[in-house]
């Protein structure tokens, strides 16, 4: 078995410099897993916090399961992240530094288990975002020019 992507957080790469990535498990209810298998999740505006030596993921929206009953889950509840104690203390130390955040980058199934890829991120300023957009535009223009050049040779 491999990895099956559930959802991505493209906005995180636009808003933050991702300095370090790591994988974590999550404590989920049964209807949440069924809903994730249908691909109904949204990582936008979600973040993680460390509280009392435990890591929690906030604002992860998992839509209610279509065929669920009254025991269906709350879509926006706080979910516990499964990390080793050493990882949590390391992250807590880095988060306390000014400007660092813990941001989910993608949600996926790995060997039947739901995993979340977290990133230790530092916020971008407006001029950094503009610079990234300029570089992206230049790369697109260069690739387009190369493509046109190759077509004219044929």
Q: pLDDT at position 120, please?
A: 92
| Residue 5, pLDDT above cutoff 80 | yes
pLDDT of residue 104: 95
Asked if pLDDT for residue 86 goes beyond 80, the answer is yes
State the SS3 of the chain: CCEEEEEECHHHHHHEEEEEEEEEEECCCHHHHHHHHCCCEECCCCEEEEECCEEEEECCEECCCCCCCCCCCCCCCCEEEECCHHHHHHHHHHHHCCCEEEEEEEEEEECCEEEEEEEEEEECCHHHHHHHHHHHHHHHHHHHHHHHHHHHHC
70, exposed or middle or buried, with CB in 10 Å at 0-12, 13-18, 19+? exposed
| Confidence label for 6 from pLDDT (cuts 50, 70 and 90) | very high
The Cα diameter of the chain in Å comes to 65
Residue 1 pLDDT level (bands cut at 50, 70, 90): low
Q: What is the mean pLDDT of the chain?
A: 88
Domain 3-123 homologous superfamily, CATH: Small protein B (2.40.280.10)
CA distance 31 to 56: 19
Query: What are the extents of the domains in the chain?
Result: 3-123, 125-154
What pLDDT was estimated at residue 42? 92
The rounded percent of the chain whose pLDDT value lies above 70 is: 99
pLDDT digits (tens, 9 = 90+) for 98-153: 778 899 999 999 998 999 999 999 888 877 788 888 888 889 988 888 888 887 77
Note whether 112 and 56 are within 8 A (CB): no
CB 25 within 8 A of CB 62: no
Express each pLDDT in 41-59 by its tens digit: 999 889 999 999 899 999 9
């Amino acid at each position: 078995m491999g990895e099956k992507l559930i959802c991505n957080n493209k906005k995180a790469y636009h808003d933050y410099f991702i300095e370090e990535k790591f994988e974590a498990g999550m404590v989920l209810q049964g209807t949440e897993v069924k809903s994730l298998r249908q691909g109904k999740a949204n990582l936008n505006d979600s973040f993680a916090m460390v509280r009392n030596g435990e890591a929690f993921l906030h604002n992860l929206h998992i839509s209610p399961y279509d065929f669920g009953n009254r025991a269906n889950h709350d879509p926006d509840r706080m979910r516990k992240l499964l990390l080793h104690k050493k990882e949590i203390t390391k992250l807590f130390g880095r988060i306390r530094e000014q400007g660092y955040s813990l941001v989910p980058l993608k949600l996926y199934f790995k060997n039947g288990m739901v995993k979340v890829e977290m990133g230790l991120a530092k916020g971008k300023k407006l001029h950094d975002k503009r610079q990234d957009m300029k570089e992206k535009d230049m790369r697109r223009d260069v690739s387009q020019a190369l493509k046109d050049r190759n077509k004219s040779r044929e």
